[in-house]
């Protein structure tokens, strides 16, 4: 299925530096893991999860395969972008295809790096970008509503639903609010998603701070944190430059470097996990002597749908899922021990997979 985060922000805020750090780390892992980078501005990165290593250890798995998330470096966002300035429409289309937005904000002071507006003010920068995205949304909403009038008059149910949702978005946008502030009913969620409004995507602010500030943040990142909290959005503090340096080190060197900087873990790991949370994603595992593997699902996914992430046939022919909760698997030292302790459950079609479940699917061909 593959979840995609678009990295957006004004020019010179550190988007590409961050993207390069992400993909360099991924490239370094590519020796161990199958499949890697696709296009110059698109990269697949492993979702860090210590549980996977623990499971592999217990099962003696030969191979460890983490689950992945895609990052896209989206260039060209400037003031006037909604009117086609910069790369305008092209990058707006790129954003449309993403599931969520990582909005990079410059929080570092560095006289050598030009800020497009000549000053460092991440909160205003965030507003500049959000305004462009809202303008682009407003334009597309108006256009689409016009395009729907004939069908809505004709009583087309789907068109009427679309128009109702577009109207709600239009009201919010005209109020200066992003489409993500619209309350959408469960029944409308699918249609709402299909509208692919730029400002309906969940957003995560990435505060790019100076090298010496990555552990503590600074006054700029504090301002962003306050803004994010007021909006109900989350933020992470990262130094893109440090992350790029770390991405060039081997694991042991990286650990030493992190300790020197007073960091518990690489900022990239925090960023990837924050993206995972933002999208309400969960992980389940398949574990055996050959491989231990992590799979991504949305919160609330049924067992057959979860099986479908591995292969469509698993979903179609789904019979049941032999299920062991992660904690049980650890406590009883693997599958055999869990089975003997009565901790392996046979779950049917109605089961909602839980984060950390170790699953084995039975299906008809
Ligand atoms: N001092 C400092 N410079 C940075 C940092 N992050 C990026 N830069 C520099 O800012 C410039 C623009 O970065 P880039 O990643 O290309 O920005 P983009 O236009 O958003 O993709 C480059 O010269 C980077 O080396 C940082 O954390 N600190
Ligand atoms: Mg760039």
Q: How far apart are CA 247 and CA 7, in angstroms?
A: 18
Closest approach atom of ligand 1 to CA 209 = 27
The residues near 254 (Cβ < 8 Å, ≥ 6 apart) are 246, 266
Dig out the tokens for 176 from the structure. 């200066």
Query: Tell me, what's the pLDDT at 23?
Result: 82
User: Which ligand is nearest to the Cα of residue 14, counting in written order?
Assistant: 1
Indicate the top mutation candidate among 17, 86, 114, 213 to test ligand 1's pocket, ranked by most ligand atoms within 8 A of CB: 17
Residue-wise pLDDT tens for the chain (365 aa)? 579 999 999 988 999 999 988 887 766 554 444 434 445 688 888 898 999 999 999 999 999 999 999 999 987 677 776 676 655 667 788 888 899 999 999 999 987 887 877 889 999 999 999 999 999 999 999 999 999 999 999 999 999 999 999 999 999 999 999 999 999 999 999 999 999 999 999 999 999 999 889 889 999 999 999 999 999 999 999 999 999 988 888 888 988 998 988 888 888 889 999 999 999 999 999 999 999 999 999 999 999 999 999 999 999 999 999 999 999 999 999 999 999 999 999 999 999 999 999 999 999 97
Closest approach atom of ligand 1 to CA 239 = 27
188-226 residues labelled b (16+ CB within 10 A) or e (exposed): beeebeebebbbbbbbbbbbbbeeebbeebbebbebbbe
Axis-axis angle for helices 122-153, 89-96 (nearest 10): 80
Task: Give 241-260 pLDDT, tens digit per residue.
Answer: 999 988 888 888 988 998 98
Taken as a whole, the chain contains a residue count of 365
Closest approach atom of ligand 1 to CA 13 = 20
Indicate the top mutation candidate among 113, 117, 120, 218 to test ligand 1's pocket, ranked by most ligand atoms within 8 A of CB: 113
Query: Tell me, what's the pLDDT at 89?
Result: 67
2: left (phi over 0), alpha (psi -120 to 50) or beta: left
């Amino acid at each position: 299925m593959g979840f995609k985060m678009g990295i957006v922000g004004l020019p010179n805020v550190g988007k590409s530096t961050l993207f390069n750090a992400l993909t360099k780390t991924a490239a370094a892992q590519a020796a161990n893991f199958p499949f890697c980078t696709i296009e110059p501005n698109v990269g697949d990165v492993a979702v860090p999860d210590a549980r996977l290593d623990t499971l592999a250890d217990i099962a003696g798995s030969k191979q460890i395969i983490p689950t992945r998330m895609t990052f896209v470096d989206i260039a060209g966002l400037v003031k006037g972008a909604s009117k086609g300035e910069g790369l305008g429409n092209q990058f707006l289309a790129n954003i449309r295809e993403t599931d969520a937005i990582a909005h990079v904000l410059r929080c570092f002071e560095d006289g050598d790096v030009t800020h497009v507006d000549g000053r460092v003010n991440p909160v205003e920068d965030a507003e500049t970008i959000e305004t462009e995205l809202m303008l682009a949304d407003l334009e597309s909403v108006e256009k689409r509503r016009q395009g729907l009038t004939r069908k809505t008059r004709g009583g087309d149910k789907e068109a009427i639903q679309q128009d109702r949702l577009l109207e709600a978005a239009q009201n919010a946008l005209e109020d200066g609010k992003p489409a993500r502030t619209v309350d959408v009913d469960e029944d409308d969620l699918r249609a709402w998603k299909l509208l692919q409004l730029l400002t309906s995507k969940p957003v995560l602010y990435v505060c790019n701070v100076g090298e010496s500030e990555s552990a503590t943040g600074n006054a700029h990142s504090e301002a962003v944190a306050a803004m994010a909290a007021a909006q109900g959005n989350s933020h992470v503090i990262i130094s893109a430059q440090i992350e790029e340096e770390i991405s060039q080190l081997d694991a042991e060197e990286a650990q030493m470097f992190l300790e020197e900087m007073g960091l518990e873990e690489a900022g990239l790991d925090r960023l990837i996990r924050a993206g995972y949370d933002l999208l309400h994603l969960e992980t389940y595992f398949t574990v055996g002597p050959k491989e231990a593997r992590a799979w991504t699902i949305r919160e609330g996914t049924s067992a057959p749908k979860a099986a479908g992430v591995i292969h469509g046939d698993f979903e179609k022919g789904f019979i049941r899922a032999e299920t062991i909760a992660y904690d049980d698997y650890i406590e009883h030292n693997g599958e055999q021990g869990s089975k003997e302790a009565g901790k392996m459950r046979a779950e049917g079609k109605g089961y909602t997979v839980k984060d950390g479940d170790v699953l084995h699917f039975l299906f008809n061909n």
